[in-house]
């Protein structure tokens, strides 16, 4: 595998990094405090083509590869994880299922606005008793004439309640397989459908700017044509979505680890104690060296997984390794950066403090560290 970026990829990375520094970073503390998704910034990301990066030009995308999306996510996450996850989830959980499994009619209806960042879509998988164990899904969809009637609840759904959210893909039990296991399917539910309610935004530890809500479905009626993909293939379809999403999530975590390192390095060079910079102390210097090593390791992990995906090679295990390694790198770097900053690192106006709050979810979202260990073990043929 060649991990050297192409000139086109390097240009994209530089462009998004500049956008992050000049547009996202100056507004990050304000929007974090207001706990509000800045739709003006999302619109600018749409104008840059970020939501359409890994999709063909003939449907309105940018015609780039999946690594290019990851580079953009990493560059944004350096300064604001909430903005980065809005892009990551908007593409991986919002657009990908429709692009990959949608009918021509579904694609024509939803993709134009989603690919341009004029709309966002959510993916309603997680429930109170079903997340890692999707077989425990309680939401149901029953055929009634030419309609599906959906009842149930979802939780922790990203991009589900914004002013520009247009549709949520919902996993629901639509029957029973021959072995008695529930048959899972995915169904598109447009925003504003009667009976579809978006609960109050969660009071989260971090990712304050990211839009996350519980969802309710009470006798929600949508046309049969809103079935996304084949009936009963919902489980298989979202497994591919999750595998791909873990790579972009790993890129986000790498960006967070990089952002913490950059801030801590700058501060260590500027902060003087007893007549010299704190970075001249071996203890601080070694801590920064370790932080840099974590970033390098994390980036190589997600590059490897992304390149395997791009070249059509198996990548399930590599995606889980990347997600686990990168998430831990982000959390460890956030802790060390906060320690280097001392009291200043405990102030929310400091990017390091926000990374410290935000990074914990990187060991939980898109499958916990324990789930990644389970996936890796299974790929090694060690566990059932």
Average pLDDT over residues 98-112: 97
Q: How far is Cα 382 from Cα 5, in angstroms, rounded to an integer?
A: 35
Active site residue 366: yes
Which superfamily is assigned to 7-120 in CATH? Acyl-CoA dehydrogenase/oxidase, N-terminal domain (1.10.540.10)
Catalytic annotation, pick one of 88, 318, 328, 366: 366
Span 3-16, mean pLDDT? 96
CATH code, 121-230:
2.40.110.10
28-72 pLDDT tens trace: 999 999 999 999 999 999 999 999 999 999 999 999 999 999 999
The CA distance from 22 to 230, in Å, is 44
- Name the 3-class secondary structure at 154: strand
Tokens describing residue 191: 């925003």
Torsion angle of the four alpha carbons 156, 258, 243, 171, in this order, in degrees rounded to the nearest 10: 10
Please state, as a whole number, how many other Cβ atoms lie within 10 Å of the Cβ of residue 1. 11
CA-to-CA distance for 121 and 117, rounded, in angstroms?
10
Q: By C-alpha distance, which of 170, 180, 186, 169 is closest to 232?
A: 186
DSSP state of 181: P
H-type helices in 151-233, by residue range? none
d(CA 69, CA 11): 13
Q: Where in the chain is the domain with CATH 1.10.540.10?
A: 7-120
The pLDDT confidence band at residue 237, using thresholds 50, 70 and 90, is confident
CATH 1.20.140.10 domain span(s) along the chain = 236-379
Mean of per-residue pLDDT scores for the chain: 96
Q: Which pTM does this prediction carry?
A: 0.95
- CATH (residue range 236-379): 1.20.140.10
Residue 53 to residue 72: CA distance in whole angstroms: 9
Strands 120-124 and 165-176, bridge-based pairing: parallel
Rounded Cα gap, residues 325 and 302, in angstroms: 9
pLDDT at residue 384 in the model: 58
* pLDDT above 70: percentage of residues in the chain: 99
């Amino acid at each position: 595998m060649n991990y050297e970026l192409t000139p086109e990829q390097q240009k994209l990375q530089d462009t998004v990094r500049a956008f992050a520094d000049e547009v996202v970073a100056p507004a990050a503390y304000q929007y974090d405090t207001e706990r509000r998704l800045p739709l003006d910034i999302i619109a600018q990301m749409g104008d840059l083509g970020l939501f359409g990066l890994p999709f063909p030009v003939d449907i309105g995308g940018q015609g780039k590869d999946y690594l290019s999306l990851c580079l953009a996510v990493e560059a944004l996450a350096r300064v604001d994880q909430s903005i980065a996850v809005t892009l990551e989830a908007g593409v991986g959980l919002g657009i990908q299922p429709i692009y990959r499994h949608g009918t021509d009619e579904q694609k024509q209806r939803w993709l134009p606005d989603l690919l341009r960042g004029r709309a966002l879509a959510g993916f309603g998988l997680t429930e109170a008793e079903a997340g890692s164990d999707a077989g425990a899904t309680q939401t149901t969809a029953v055929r009634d004439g030419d309609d599906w009637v959906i009842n149930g609840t979802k939780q922790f759904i990203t991009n589900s309640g914004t002013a520009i959210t247009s549709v949520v893909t919902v996993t629901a039990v639509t029957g029973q397989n021959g072995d008695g296991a529930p048959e899972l399917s995915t169904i598109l539910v447009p925003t504003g459908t009667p009976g579809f309610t978006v609960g109050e935004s969660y009071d989260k530890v971090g990712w304050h700017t990211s839009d996350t809500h519980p969802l309710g479905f009470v006798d929600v009626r949508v046309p049969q044509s809103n079935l996304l993909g084949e009936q009963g293939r919902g489980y298989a379809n979202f497994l591919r979505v999750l595998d791909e999403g873990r790579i972009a999530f790993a890129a986000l975590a790498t960006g967070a680890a990089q952002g913490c390192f950059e801030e801590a390095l700058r501060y260590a060079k500027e902060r003087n104690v007893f007549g010299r910079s704190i970075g001249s102390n071996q203890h601080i210097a070694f801590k920064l060296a370790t932080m840099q090593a974590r970033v390098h390791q994390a980036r190589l992990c997600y590059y490897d997984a992304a390149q395997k995906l791009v070249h059509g090679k198996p990548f399930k295990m590599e995606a889980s390794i990347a997600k686990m390694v990168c998430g831990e790198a982000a959390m460890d770097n956030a802790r060390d950066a906060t320690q280097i900053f001392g009291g200043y690192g405990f102030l929310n106006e400091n990017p390091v403090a926000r990374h410290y709050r935000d990074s914990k979810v990187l060991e939980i979202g898109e499958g916990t560290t324990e789930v990644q260990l389970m996936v890796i073990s299974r790929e090694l043929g060690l566990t059932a």
